Structure 1
Amino acid sequence: MASTPSTGNVANSATADSLDKEKCQLDSSHGSTPSGSVLENFTDSDIEAQGSRPAKKPFSFWMSIVCILTIAFIVSWDATCLAVAIPSISKDLNGSSFQSFWASIAFMIGVVATQPIYTSVSDIVGRKPPLYTAMTLFAVGAIIFATAHDMSVVIAGRLVQGLGGGGLDVLESVLLADVTTLKERPLYLSLQGIPIVSGFVLGPIIGSLFSEFATWRWIGWINLPFTGFSMVLAFFFLHLRPIEIDTRSRLQRLDWTGMVLFVVGAAAFSLPLSWADSLYPWTDWRTLLPFIIGVIVMIGFWFYEARPQEPMIPHRLFHNITACMSIATGFLHGLVMYSILLYLPLFFQAVYLQSPLQSGISILPICVLMIAASAVAPILVKISKMYLPYLWGGWILTTLFMGLFYLAGQDSSTATANAFQSLLGVGIGIVFTVTALPMQGSVKNVDDQGLAAGMLVTFRLYGALIGLAIGSSVFNSFFAKSIVALDPLPEALAELADPSHAISFIPNIPDLDLPQDQMEALIQAYRVPFRAIWVTMAALSGIATVMSFLMTKIDHDNEEQGKQRFEERKK
């Protein structure tokens, strides 16, 4: 008998008698169930339960969802809260610019280096051991950070937090795929999108409030109750079917060589992207050498992954055009979204001369609409049973209004900027949650849906890293050309002779005492590189739009669940 495709609905429509009959036929014909068959995931207790699935979800299921959403929020907000607090931390601890830089990127490096490892390990040993490990590392890192009296300890704390945050960030998506079916997943993706996007938005606000009105140490302490709460929920309510394999066999199946190759390659690849044109120029050997080594190691890692029995990143996940385009557009989405969230408030500060707090208020339209669209879009997908039109529409909106933001400036009203960023937020929010559906639906085996969810999260984060590197290079390059209009530079602007100082100089602009013509020329000098970033992001969004049209329709009425599905424990 041929294996049952993941797009089928056999597991839920078959009766107990028909499943028993088919199981006997398989045993008599081949002696074993074909790989990938739905029936290989069923036990006798499952067969007895078919046809009588309860309509209502148990209380423990909803507590598990609360656990997942809590994890999604704390990781999202922690990833964005530190940037605004770094000046206060560095001043308080007498840190150097070099130490401030490493404090900023330590968390991200830890996340990037560990995400696929957590996904792979959880697929072999079970979800909960790596989940508890990630929670513990995240909490320990937060304590180290909060009690630090030296910048080196701050960096160490953020790195440990990142090692845990990488697991939390990817496992919350993997767990959501475990406990829900593909048919019902749009509803839960809409719930998941709210804390993730809210965390991105609230992170800088919370960080600035703590550093300005309390102490930056609360950025670490506030994580502890949330982490403890989610750990309690996971322990008491997250009931996943255990993997029936002994510990020794589990350890032997892990792709140890692949993990080492990935960590080395990811670190060597990510670090120069983080410091290019910031700590060292792109042309410096300290940027080029690790970058080239990272690329070579990652290419070697990709070819090696065809060999292990349980590869860390299985090639089977990329078996069709829809899966490949989902990963590619997810990568570009992370690239565009993170770049916009970084540079948009800086744009309002440099061009509209707003304070950091005012700029935070000014970007509320894009933030609110991102949250709303990311929550509403999956529900519309569930109602209409179509996801491609929403995905196409999301990318078209992103491309169009990213390009139109080129027109925003001092000579245009803030209402125009608000309208453009609002519709831009709608497009980004739609793509954020809907992209998960074709990626997870494209896999052949239902047990690979968690892996697919994890890969999408990982590639989106890599897109963010490369997007920040592209944005930095574009900004510095165009600013170096536009600032020439002020030559010779007034003494108050002497720092801007080095384009790498342009971003850090932005908060000083409103306080400058310059003649009106020089002030207008300075604002225009800043407007040029921001325009270049908007055009670059619009072009990349356009590429993603074309890619989205290459995806094919996949049936999402599948109600199968994988080997680590949620199970209500019997009392």
Structure 2
Amino acid sequence: MALVIALGSLEKSIVTTPLPMIGAELNAGSALTWVVTAYLLAATAALPVYGKLSDLFGRLRMLNIGIVLFLAGSLACGLAQDLPTLLAARVLQGLGGGGLIALAFTVIADSIPPREVGKYQGYISIVYAVSSIAGPLLGGYFTEQLNWRWIFWINLPLGALALWLVNRNLRHLNLRRQSRFDWKGAGLLITVTTLSLLLLSPDTPLPSLWLVIALGTALLLLIFIERRAHDPILPAHLVRLPGYLVAVLLSLIAQLLMFAVLVYLPLQMQWQKGMSASESGQDMVIFMVFITLGAFVGGKFIARTGKYKRFVVMGFALAALALWQLHFDVWVRLALLFAGLGLGLTLPALAVVVQSALPAQDRGIGMSLFNFGRELGGAVGVAVCSVLFHASLSTTADGPLDHLSPAELAPGFSGTYIGMAAIASGALLLTLVALKRHELSNRTH
């Protein structure tokens, strides 16, 4: 499962470094960012559908489908000779990639008891961190030493190994449940997800008003269909499970805060403080390392003690403190340590809450919606930060952002960090009030 997760997460970051080369060869122009966006849209939209299908048809069958689609998309990306073909291939690759992330975490939940899952969440966080750091480095190496097409072809041997390991070790998870799949609900859920992400995307090609109208219509239809479905793709009883909805919301907020730091702090370092890309990247490694350390240590302590709420409280408290430090621009590296450690602590604790709340028959869709909330949190975070940043900019600021003076940029970054600190404080209050304590089981169920 670590290999499957590495495949899915590496694909989000490995493509960023070769983008200029891809754009030059395929004459992409301003549409170049859609090489990244197409994959993210397809992967996020497919997440909950894989979860529900795996509840009905078995984890192994759906995991095989996800890996095969991902490999087919990777091969097509490497062979693409123009931008439309590459974008279509990235969508196909994303449809498979969404299954990798969704089902890997569900298989872990099937195999490991709630009290122990925090420890394994720490191991998975290491995989995520290594993938996030290695992705841009590998992308640059392949582009300079071989060809940018190798960023996609490298998936083929790794994916073949993952297929062999999965089919050798997970046959016992191929259980089926007799029920009719909610195709109408699935189609509408994919539509709502795609429209939401397009609305949040800063480079969307469609007018916002039409997106809002289409999103509202699709959302109303989804509610109408789901209330009448025999076995809905969005089971209403999940909302009533103890701690489930709160954990999903807190996970979304944690990812929102993480992306706020990952995206806006490097921009501040380079635009306002005049640092180079490599210098800002070195500082951001502190953030990634301590996210990993927080998840690893938090998971170990949860497995040992069975207590999880204290780690979520401590995590959001540290994140709020760090964002206030960034606002006042004091001890920035220490703030990165606090922010990484705090957000890392929340990861295994919230995963534990979700797994312990979900019954076995809803574990696929339940875990997928949890991961869907995390993915959506990143997109929401970037969009909210963009609004806060531009609203806080100096009224005298005019022209491209990277050409503004440090004095003109300072209010934008300061306002962004204030808003994020307020959100972290709100998450801390929500944790204290709404997240309940209960005993964690030592057995899978």
Q: What TM-score do the two structures reach when normalised by structure 2? A: 0.93
Alignment match, 1:109: 41
2:107 is aligned to: 175
Alpha carbons 2:12, 2:36 under 8 Å: kept: no
Letter of the 2:245 partner, please give it: C
Provide closer, same or farther for how the CA distance between residues 461 and 244 of structure 1 changes in structure 2, counting only shifts above 3 A.
closer
Determine the structure 2 residue equivalent to 1:423. 338
Give the conservation status (yes or no) of the 8 Å contact 2:126–2:292: yes
Give the alignment of 1:391-540 within 5 angstroms.
391-408=312-329, 416-443=331-358, 445-479=359-393, 481=395, 483-484=397-398, 497=399, 501-502=400-401, 505=402, 522-540=405-423
- Alpha-carbon distance change, 525 to 213 in structure 1, aligned in 2, over 3 angstroms: farther
Q: Which AA in structure 2 matches 1:258?
A: G
Partner of 1:259: 186
The count of corresponding residues between Structure 1 and Structure 2 is 444
**Equivalent residue for 1:559?**
443
Say if 1:272 and 1:288, in contact at 8 Å, map to a contact too: no
- 8 Å contact kept, 1:269–1:292: no
Q: Does 1:378 align with 2:299?
A: yes
Q: Which residue of 2 aligns with 1:72?
A: 5
What displacement does 1:241 show?
4.1
2:286 corresponds to which residue? 365
| Distance of aligned partners of 1:133 and 1:482 in 2 relative to their CA distance in 1, 3 Å threshold | farther
Kindly state the Cα deviation for residue 482 of structure 1 after the two structures are TM-superposed.
5.3
State the alpha-carbon separation in 1 of the partners of residues 294 and 336 from structure 2.
13
Deviation at 1:117, TM superposition (A): 0.4
Select 1:243's aligned residue among 168, 175, 179.
Answer: 175
CA–CA separation in structure 2 for the residues paired with 1:76 and 1:388: 27
Unaligned residue ranges in structure 2 (runs of 5+): none
Q: Distance in 2 between matches of 1:430 and 1:254?
A: 37
* Secondary structure at 2:233 match in 1: coil
- Kept in 2, the 8 Å contact 1:189–1:375? The answer is yes
- Kept in 2, the 8 Å contact 1:269–1:293? The answer is no
Contact kept in structure 2, 1:193 and 1:371, CA below 8 Å:
yes
Residues 167-206 of structure 1 aligned to structure 2 (within 5 Å): 167-206=99-138
Alignment deviations for residues 100-157 of structure 1 (CA, whole Å, 9 cap, x no partner): 1322210111012111100000000111121111111111111222222212222122
Pairwise CA distance, 1:307: 2.9
- What's the C-alpha RMSD, in Å, of the aligned pairs? 2.1
Compared CA separation, residues 132 and 320, structure 1 to 2 (3 A) = closer
What's the CA shift string for 1:69-99, capped at 9, x where partnerless? 11111211211232343222112222120x2
Alignment correspondent of 2:428? 545
Gaps of at least 5 residues in structure 1 are 1-67, 485-496, 510-520, 562-571
CA distance in 2, matches of 1:175, 1:244: 15
Q: 1:244 to 1:209 in 2, by over 3 A?
A: closer
SS of the residue corresponding to residue 552 of structure 1 reads: coil
CA deviation digits over 1:488-510, x for unaligned, max 9?
xxxxxxxxx2xxx53xx4xxx7x
Q: Give yes or no for contact 2:50–2:99 (8 Å, CA) kept in 1.
A: yes
| In the alignment, structure 1 residue 221 sits paired with structure 2 residue 105 | no
What is the identity, as a one-letter code, of the residue corresponding to 2:6? F
Whether the 8 Å contact between 1:349 and 1:355 is mirrored in structure 2 is yes
Q: Is the 8 A contact 2:182 2:232 kept in 1?
A: yes
State the shift of 1:163 in Å: 0.7
Deviation at 1:300, TM superposition (A): 3.5
**Contact residue 76 and residue 197 of structure 1 kept, 8 A:** no
Worse-superposed segment, 416-425 or 343-352: 343-352
Q: Give the superposition deviation at 1:306.
A: 3.3
Percent of aligned positions with the same letter in both sequences? 24
Match for 1:338: what amino acid?
Answer: F
Aligned to 1:129: 61
CA contact (8 A) 1:272 1:290 kept: yes
Separation in 1 of the partners of 2:220 and 2:347? 28
Q: Distance in 1 between matches of 2:3 and 2:396?
A: 45
CA distance in 1, matches of 2:259, 2:341: 15
Compared CA separation, residues 482 and 425, structure 1 to 2 (3 A): farther
Letter in 2 for 1:456: F
Shift of 1:397: 0.6
Residues 115 and 302, structure 2, Cα contact 8 Å, conserved in 1: no
State the Cα deviation string for residues 305-347 of structure 1 (Å, max 9, x = none): 2332322121111104522211111111122212322222222
What residue number does 1:345 align with? 266
Give the residue type in structure 2 aligned to 1:81. Answer: I
Question: How far did residue 218 of structure 1 move?
Answer: 2.2
Aligned partner of residue 481 in structure 1, secondary structure: coil
3-state secondary structure, aligned to 1:326? helix
Aligned match of 1:310: 231
Q: Is the 8 A contact 2:233 2:365 kept in 1?
A: no
CA pair 482-322 structure 1, distance change in 2 beyond 3 A: farther
Give, in whole Å, the separation in 2 of the partners of 1:429 and 1:302. Answer: 34
Query: 2: distance between equivalents of 1:214 and 1:243?
Result: 43
Instruction: Look at both structures and tell me which one has the larger radius of gyration over its CA atoms.
Output: 1
8 Å CA contact 1:381, 1:387 repeated in 2:
yes
